[in-house]
């Protein structure tokens, strides 16, 4: 956070106002912050602009800020609540929760002193409450573990600020959301969440905020990514600490990488490199499918094609969901396949040949038989889990041209969502933990059934990765 003391000349102030206008901050918001002695960091001006969008019908009501440690997220969230929202709407009550590493009073007094020096307020330490002359207030709460959040449940708040959001489970967050409601006319509830990658809530936060941001499908949520480089006021010692971090922790805390965390099964996953926008698959590229069967758990069907020039595999279509019968699954596969696609193989879990049922005439059918009756002719997939994991690992690696061996179209949302969230099996670290949502992963490794490593003489520049047998 910067203060008015850091912009003593009119040139610097004019530059700040220009940045606020660029981000879309309304004029009255910018002026109010300056009068209060709060100067938002450049990256945080986008957060403040989005926060104002919550005023309009259909605007975002859940705004997440995330990425590396140190970009000034905490100051921005509390400033938005106390210096803007509470000043504009008399009588609103916010809950501001933060993960505490020290006493609640000491933690909040630091923030209050920095943010509200020039704003009339009444801080009541015994009640951890910040009050303003117009009747608006902020309840300042702390938690060391998510069970301590229970004391705030059941009380009505008009808005929420939540720090370290990934330190609580989705269930606890959903319970907390039941308390964020309002009966005040002209006011829309809003929730501001700040966090870093990792923690028990990593998956739900990524799914709720990060993926819609990436996919361009945000509706009632917004995500503002940021890193430590967005805060020029960080101490050199802390910058050195962040830059010295290695491995998954470094990528998460320093780079704000939501696709990397300790224990992930595929640490080489990179959203920008392993996904692409859909394009028209050339008709002469070989195409095939794979299916992971499921009923109560989702079933997943994937389509793939191979670029004949560089051997790169593109996963270009997905069907996914629970509760579909064998017949419904087969028909979904058939109806999502164009008649001229020339599918060369449909690889499926060998267990589908042993899932038997009996019709009214006593004839025994397997799931594979049902698929075949619907015009989907199944081939038994290679279900060796360790071999499948190795194949996926190798294909996520680079081909000789420097790009990954497998790329997934961004319309395959469940595959893209679940692959980077998988973790290693604690008892079998060369495999994926099967208690996770691994249905798209299983379909992906089935796609690689007929792929083998092709050894070439070292002097040749042929593709050292995998070829499709006989294709």
- Tens digit of pLDDT for each residue in 71-90? 478 889 999 999 999 999 99
354 or 10, higher pLDDT: 354
Q: Which CATH architecture has domain 271-468?
A: 2-Layer Sandwich (3.30)
At 231 the pLDDT is 66
pLDDT at residue number 420: 87
String of DSSP letters for 199-241: STTHHHHIIIIIHHHHHT--SSEEEEEE-GGG-TTS-HHHHHH
Q: Is the model's pLDDT at 391 over the cut of 90? A: yes
Range(s) of the chain covered by CATH 3.40.50.300:
2-247
Whether 265 shows a pLDDT value over 90: the answer reads no
- Whether 287 and 340 have beta carbons less than 8 Å apart is answered as no
Average pLDDT over residues 31-58: 93
Residues contacting 137, CB < 8 A, separation 6+: 86, 92, 93, 94, 129, 130, 131
How confident is the model at residue 9, as a pLDDT?
Answer: 66
pLDDT at 249: 61
Under the banding of pLDDT at 50, 70 and 90, the label for residue 57 is very high
How many Cα neighbours within 13 Å face the side chain of 1?
Answer: 22
Cβ contact 78:71 at 8 Å: no
pLDDT in tens, 45-56: 999 999 999 999
At residue 412, does pLDDT exceed 50? yes
Q: Can you tell me the distance from the alpha carbon of 468 to that of 450, in angstroms, rounded to the nearest whole number?
A: 6
Could you tell me the fold of the domain covering 2-247?
Rossmann fold (3.40.50)
Which part of the chain is CATH 3.30.420.280?
271-468
pLDDT exceeds 80 at position 392: yes
Of 144, 109, 110, the C-alpha closest to 123 is 109
Total-model pTM: 0.66
Segment 121-147 mean pLDDT: 91
Integer Cα distance of 267 and 318 in angstroms = 23
Residue 458 has pLDDT above 50, yes or no: no
């Amino acid at each position: 956070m910067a203060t008015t003391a850091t912009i003593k000349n009119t040139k610097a102030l004019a530059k700040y106002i220009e940045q606020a206008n660029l981000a879309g901050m309304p004029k009255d918001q910018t002026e109010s912050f300056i009068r209060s002695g709060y100067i938002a960091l450049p990256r945080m001006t986008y957060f403040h602009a989005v926060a104002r969008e919550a005023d309009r019908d259909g605007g975002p009501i859940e705004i997440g800020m995330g990425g590396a440690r140190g970009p000034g997220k905490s100051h921005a969230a509390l400033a938005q609540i106390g210096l803007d929202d509470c000043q504009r709407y008399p009588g609103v009550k916010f809950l501001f929760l933060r993960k505490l590493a020290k006493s609640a009073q000491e933690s909040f007094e630091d923030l209050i002193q920095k943010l509200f020096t020039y704003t009339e307020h009444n801080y009541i330490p015994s009640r951890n409450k910040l009050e303003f002359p117009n009747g608006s207030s902020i309840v300042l709460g702390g938690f060391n573990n998510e069970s301590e959040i229970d004391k705030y449940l059941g009380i009505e708040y008009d808005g929420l600020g939540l720090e370290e959001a990934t330190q609580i489970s989705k269930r606890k967050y959903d319970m907390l959301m039941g308390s964020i409601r309002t009966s005040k006319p002209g006011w829309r509830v809003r929730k501001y969440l700040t966090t870093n990658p990792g923690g028990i809530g990593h998956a739900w936060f990524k799914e709720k905020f990060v993926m819609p941001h990436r996919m361009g499908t945000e509706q009632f949520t917004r995500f503002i990514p940021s890193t430590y480089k967005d805060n020029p006021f960080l101490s050199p010692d802390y910058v050195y600490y962040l830059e010295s971090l290695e491995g998954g922790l470094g990528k998460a805390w320093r780079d704000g990488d939501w696709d990397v965390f300790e224990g992930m099964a595929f640490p080489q996953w990179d959203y920008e490199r392993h996904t692409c926008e859909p394009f028209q698959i050339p008709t002469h590229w070989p195409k095939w499918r794979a299916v992971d069967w499921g009923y109560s758990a989702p079933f997943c069907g994937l389509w793939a094609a191979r670029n004949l020039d560089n051997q790169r595999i593109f996963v270009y279509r997905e069907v996914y969901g629970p509760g579909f019968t064998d017949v419904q699954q087969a028909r979904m596969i058939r109806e999502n396949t164009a008649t001229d696609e020339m599918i060369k193989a449909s690889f499926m879990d060998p267990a589908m040949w042993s899932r038997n049922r009996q019709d009214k005439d006593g004839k025994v059918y397997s799931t594979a038989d049902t698929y075949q009756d619907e015009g989907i002719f199944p081939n038994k997939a290679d279900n060796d889990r360790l071999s499948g994991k190795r194949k996926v690992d190798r294909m996520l690696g680079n081909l000789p041209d420097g790009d990954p061996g497998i790329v997934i179209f961004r319309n395959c949302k469940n595959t893209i969502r679940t692959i980077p969230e998988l973790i290693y099996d604690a008892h079998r670290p060369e495999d994926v933990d099967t208690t996770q949502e691994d249905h798209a992963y299983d379909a992906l490794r089935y796609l690689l059934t007929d792929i083998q490593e092709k050894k070439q003489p070292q002097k040749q520049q042929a593709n050292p990765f995998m070829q499709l047998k006989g294709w």
